[in-house]
A = this chain, B = another copy of it.
Amino acid sequence: MNKKKIINDPVYGFVTIPSAFIFDLIQHSYLQRLRFIKQVSMTHLVYPGALHTRFQHVIGAMHLMSLAIDTLRNKNVPISSDEEEAVLIAILLHDIGHGPFSHSLEHTLIEGVSHEMLSLLLMDKLNEEFDGGLSLAITIFNDQYPRKFFHQLVSSQLDMDRMDYLNRDSFFTGVSEGVISFDRIITMLNVEQGELVVEAKGIYSVEKFLIARRLMYWQVYLHKTVISAEQMLIKILYRAKELATEGHTLFATTALRHFLTNKINHHNFLEDPRHLEWFTRLDDTDIMSALKEWVNEKDEILRTLCRKLMNRDLPRTELRNTPFLETEVDLVRGKVKAHFDLEDSEIDYFVYTQVIQNSAYDIQHNNIKIINNRGCVQDITEASDVSNLEALAKRVVKFAISYPKEIGHPLDEGNNFS
């Protein structure tokens, strides 16, 4: 047979499924589940096009990995077909442990179990099912393979994961600031002493990539309306779990009910396989259908929060560069308490303070290395004399407070440029 399966991807056009084994993996319910998990959870409330899923993302990242492998081979970097398939599988599965609205879930329905840990559990389970066919992929994913560049292509400051999600999130949000020249960067990749490097004339493209990433953080991922909606979802799930624990019966799909009524931490996942099993049945639909029904729930707090979220009556959020003073927070809390006639213990459901931060380039881990015409390798911040990359390594920290719009503007808003 000389045909290849093809997927239409609006970002890259045709994406070819590279092998029959990878095709079978994609068909597996663990991967199909990602069709129903949005990549950027609540962001569509601000950017209506941002409904794309983790499924699309992992297919796209796998496509970029193919391009990177082709480039490296063209530059005479030897890559065996086993290595090729393994690194393609590693990127394909890198997000498999994400649940619906991951960030919110990890703080509520499950207790501090990271998606990375769940990914590994699921990869191991798949490896069993597929008779060890994923072993090399898992070795690369865990950075235990001697040829470091394979892991760096999967996970580093210039990996195919980031390259796809920036591109894709930019495409679907319509925030053109995030568009990156992935093809130019990939064309400039090379391997030196087993590590991934970028050829010198790609330095501008990499710089633009780092800047695009920073802009996407502040315009999309940390957008104040987005973070307040996500905070609201956390409070809703927390309240629901509280009620369920107290014995209230809430509307829920079976999978969601499992996580509402059981206390599940890292340890439980390892001990009882049913938790992982139910986890693989959970997607955005379970959460969204519950939110819809809970707008008529008896509990006033749960009902109020769900109504607000479903009607897009989101909190007002103020961002600034210095922490909010205790007196300011108290002022806000007081107004909210009075307006909604709340107990002290209930105020936290409506007033949220957060610290948000981002640095575009982390100079200390997995630096991006540039190789010049004479084969000399340097960190990108040293290699570039026309750029201002050091500035990108600076961590930016901002402080946020969110509260219901009903109480007006209790604080002088200060300098708010977001």
Contacts and interface: CB of A to CB of B under 8 A. Distances in A.
Contacts of A286: 289, 292
B35 A44 contact: yes
A81 to B, nearest CB: 13
Interface residues of A, number: 96
Contacts of A29: 311
A56 to B, nearest CB: 5
Contacts of A396: 385-386
Nearest to A10: B174
B373 A416 contact: yes
A153 interface: no
A306 to B, nearest CB: 13
A372 B415 contact: yes
Interface stretch (A137-145, A197-205, A240-248, A259-267): A197-205
A374 B413 contact: yes
Contacts of A51: 51-53
A121 interface: no
Contacts of A415: 372, 376, 383, 385
B205 A208 contact: no
Contacts of A44: 35
A293 B254 contact: yes
Interface string A1-29: 01110111111011010000000000101
Given A52-B49, A215-B208, A292-B253, A388 B394 contact: yes
